[in-house]
Amino acid sequence: MADEPTPSYVAGEIPNGSVTAALIRDLEAAVGKRYVLSTPDELLLYEYDATIDRARPQIVVLPETAGQVAAAVRAARRFDMPVIPRGAGTGISGGALAATGGVVVALTRMRRIIEVDSENRIAIVEPGVVNLDLSKAVAKHGLYYAPDPSSQRACTIGGNVAENAGGPHTLAVGSTTNHVLGLELVLADGTVIWVGGRTRDLPGYDLAGAFVGSEGTLGIATKIAVRLMRMPESTRTLLAIFNRIDYASNAVSAIIAAGIVPSALEMMDRMIIHAVEQALHCGYPLDAEAVLLIEVDGLEESTAEQSEDIDRICRDSGAREVRLAVKQADRELLWAGRKSSLSALGRYFPNFYVLDGVVPRTRLVEVLRASNAVAEKYGLAVANVFHAGDGNLHPNLLFDERIPGTTVDVLQAGAEIMRLCVDAGGSITGEHGVGLEKRDFMAWLFDDADMAAMSSLKVAFAAGERFNPCKAFPTHRGCGEVSVANAQRVSARLGEDVYV
């Protein structure tokens, strides 16, 4: 498919009222008047995701079927309006924001589990299915869906596909891309196609693999075929308690070096421990500097042996205590603390900026120290909770956006911490995506030829800048203007200096 001309709009230029009114009429004809939103109060709800960027669309449409999605895409195309796919809005990179305005296609009404093939361990779902709801639905078959973002009670499978979401339990079994077999897609011209299928390793180009993690820039997934996993016979969860975060970091490397790959290997620092304990009383020790939450699953004999080995390794690395939870209720309480850790930070500050860098496990100690030093330089509190097993760091910079200048400091500190990760041999994202937030950092990892090759996928999918402009790559001619305009809006609202 040939690429199409870039839409005629300019970033920040709102189409005139007559064009908007005509597009609204077409969208109402496609999905029903009730499911087209265009008033300021309605649009305000779609200005946000879980990052600190903000951008308001002109129109939001809520389709219920693939046919309605295709009709909405064709209508937007007729008026040269960009299309922004949106899931639950829990993303942490600005991926669901309408960076240059346009039509947000919110997929939350498409929440059917269409098929469960328990014998072949496959499910076909719509993009609005909530992540945890899928595991609940297939539990009666002794199955579950493995990728489990901390927001799994709210985030949707479609959004997980867009960002190639991970989670605490993806260390051993891989992130979303390892569990998606095929997808039904709506392309930029409204065509509906399937890529991939119901089995793994099909011949030909891996178009499903290319689509997962494309952040809504290539098309819109309307059905998703995922593989399910068998529930393990035995699961054991360990809480290793350390007086120094360095000891905990060293234990992470020692566990992997011993040939043990747990299903989960998470770290929480003192500030996270205190926030969680105040909120949920999970039993984390308040005087610890760090804890490791480690889980192994499999056959009973295997988990018993592995948990003993992990206990020994943690103690040899400096753990003062290692607790073992075997009962379901005890394990669930420990995990409730981990998965509620970010929301618990609201007890300290009204805002947080969660980062998503990756570093080699052997450099965890070094990068943690350097990240904390950056936060201290800007006078910011930082709380660390992250997927230590694969070196996926999540420093949370805590702040109050109502204080003039603070948002500027947070963004600058975040950029410096991302650079630390890259300089240590890591990456700018492990599971949250590049989105609007980190697109300007891509040049740290890739040269112009690399990015041109990746951007050529938009040509192959005939997407151009019609789908989710300004995300993942700073290719649109108005993307720089978006940053300035957004900063001006936020600055005017909060009384800050403009951040450019």
pLDDT digit string, tens, across residues 365-420: 999 999 999 999 999 999 999 999 999 999 999 999 999 999 999 999 999 999 99
Query: How far apart, in whole angstroms, are the C-alpha atoms of residue 393 and residue 390?
Result: 9
Per-residue pLDDT at 9: 37
Q: What Å distances lie between residue 227 and 117, 161, 178, CA to CA? A: 10, 13, 9
Percent of the chain clearing pLDDT 70 (strictly above): 91
**What is the average per-residue pLDDT within 3-11?**
37
492 — pLDDT class (breaks 50, 70, 90) = very low
**What is the average per-residue pLDDT within 204-209?**
94
In the predicted model, is pLDDT for residue 494 greater than 90?
A: no
* Residue 40, C-beta contacts closer than 8 angstroms, at least 6 positions apart: none
**What is the average per-residue pLDDT within 151-156?**
96
| Mean per-residue pLDDT over the chain, rounded | 91
3-class state of residue 137 by DSSP: helix
3-class state of residue 405 by DSSP: coil
Per-residue pLDDT at 475: 60
Per-residue pLDDT at 497: 43
Residue with the bigger pLDDT between 235 and 499: it is 235
Query: How far apart, in whole angstroms, are the C-alpha atoms of residue 198 and residue 354?
Result: 35
Q: Are strands 113-117 and 122-125 parallel, antiparallel or unpaired?
A: antiparallel
In the predicted model, is pLDDT for residue 326 greater than 90?
A: no
In the predicted model, is pLDDT for residue 15 greater than 60?
A: no
Rounded to 5 degrees, φ, ψ at 429 are -160, 140
Per-residue pLDDT at 463: 85
pLDDT digit string, tens, across residues 241-285: 999 999 999 999 999 999 999 999 999 999 999 999 999 999 999
493 — pLDDT class (breaks 50, 70, 90) = very low
Domains and CATH numbers, the chain: 17-107+448-473 (3.30.43.10), 113-230 (3.30.465.10), 234-343 (3.30.70.2190), 349-437 (3.30.70.2740)
Range in 321-335, 388-402, 459-473 the model is least confident about:
459-473
pLDDT digit string, tens, across residues 83-110: 999 999 999 999 999 999 999 999 999 9
Alpha-carbon dihedral sign for residues 476, 472, 94, 228: positive
